[in-house]
Amino acid sequence: MNKISRRKFLGIGGAGLAAAALAACAPPAILPIPTSSTSGLDDGPAPTTPPQKAPTTTPATTASAAAADVEIALSAIPATVPIFSGQPTQVWQFQGEVLKGDAASLQSLPDTYLGPIFRLNKGQRLRVNLTSQIPRETIVHWHGLHVPAEMDGHPRHAINQGERYDYEFEVLNRAGTYWYHPHPHGLTGPQVYAGMAGFFLVSDEEERAAGLPGGEFDIPLVIQDRLFNSDNQLVYLSNGMMDQMDGFLGDQILVNGQPDFTLPVATRPYRLRLLNGSNSRIYKLGWNDSAPLTVIGNDGGLLETPVQKPYVTLAPGERVELWADFSDRAVGSEMVLQNQPFIAPTGTMGGGMMGGGMMREGSAALPLGERYPILTVRVERQSDERSPLPERLSTIERISPQDAAQTRRVALRMQPPRGWTLNGRSFEMTAVAPDEQVRLGSTEIWEFVNEGGGMMGGMMGMLPHPMHMHGEQFQVLERQVDRSGRAAWESLSAGFVDGGWKDTVLVMPGERVKVIRRFDDFTGLFLYHCHNLEHEDMGMMRNFEVVSSA
Ligand code: C2O
Ligand code: CU
Ligand code: CU
What is the Cα Rg of the chain in Å?
22
Residue 527 Cα: closest atom of ligand 1? 2
Residue 144 Cα: closest atom of ligand 1? 1
Distance 71 CA to ligand 3 centre (A): 35
CA distance 161 to 165: 11
For residues 418 and 468, the model is more confident at: 468
Query: What phi and psi values does residue 385 have, to the nearest 5 degrees?
Result: -65, 120
Predicted confidence at residue 16, as pLDDT, reads: 31
Predicted confidence at residue 48, as pLDDT, reads: 41
CB of 268 sitting under 6 A from ligand 1 = no
Distance 227 CA to ligand 3 centre (A): 21
pLDDT at 23 over 50: no
Predicted confidence at residue 242, as pLDDT, reads: 80
Cβ–Cβ under 8 Å, residues 142 and 177 = no
CB-facing half-sphere around the CA of 160: CA atoms within 13 A: 11
SS3 139: coil
DSSP secondary structure letter of residue 436 = G
CB of 183 sitting under 6 A from ligand 1 = yes
pLDDT at 260 over 60: yes
Cβ–Cβ under 8 Å, residues 268 and 326 = yes
Please give the distance of CA 99 from its chain centroid, rounded to a whole number. Answer: 28
Predicted confidence at residue 60, as pLDDT, reads: 45
Distance 382 CA to ligand 2 centre (A): 40
Give the pLDDT confidence of 265-307 residue by residue, as tens digits. 999 999 999 999 999 999 999 999 999 999 999 999 999 999 9
Task: Give the global pTM.
Answer: 0.88
Average pLDDT, the chain: 87
Predicted confidence at residue 440, as pLDDT, reads: 98
The arrangement of strands across the sheet holding 442-450 comes to: 419-422, 406-415, 442-450, 511-519, 475-481
Ligand with minimal distance to 421 CA: 3
Predicted confidence at residue 452, as pLDDT, reads: 66
The full set of domains in the chain, from first to last, is: 62-208 (2.60.40.420), 216-381 (2.60.40.420), 401-547 (2.60.40.420)
Q: Band of the pLDDT at 359, cuts 50, 70, 90?
A: very low
Mean pLDDT, residues 522-541: 98
Distance 420 CA to ligand 3 centre (A): 7
In angstroms, the first-to-last Cα distance of the chain is 61
CB of 470 sitting under 6 A from ligand 1 = yes
Distance 471 CA to ligand 2 centre (A): 8
Distance 152 CA to ligand 2 centre (A): 8
Predicted confidence at residue 7, as pLDDT, reads: 26
> What is the full DSSP assignment across 501-523?
-BSEEEE-TTEEEEEEEEE-S--
CB of 529 sitting under 6 A from ligand 1 = yes
Predicted confidence at residue 110, as pLDDT, reads: 86
DSSP β-bridge partners for residue 336: 376
Tell me which residue has its CA closest to atom 3 in ligand 1.
143
User: Which residue, among 190, 266, 99, has the nearest Cα to 538 in the 3D structure?
Assistant: 190
Distance 412 CA to ligand 3 centre (A): 8
Residue 529 Cα: closest atom of ligand 1? 2
Q: Which of 49-58, 85-94, 314-323, 445-454 has the lowest mean pLDDT?
A: 49-58
Alpha-helix residue ranges (DSSP H) falling in 369-461: 455-460
CA distance 345 to 461: 9
Q: Band of the pLDDT at 347, cuts 50, 70, 90?
A: low
Contacts with 37 (C-beta within 8 Å, 6 or more apart), sequence order: none
Ion ligand 3: residue ranges with CB closer than 5 A:
465, 530, 532, 535
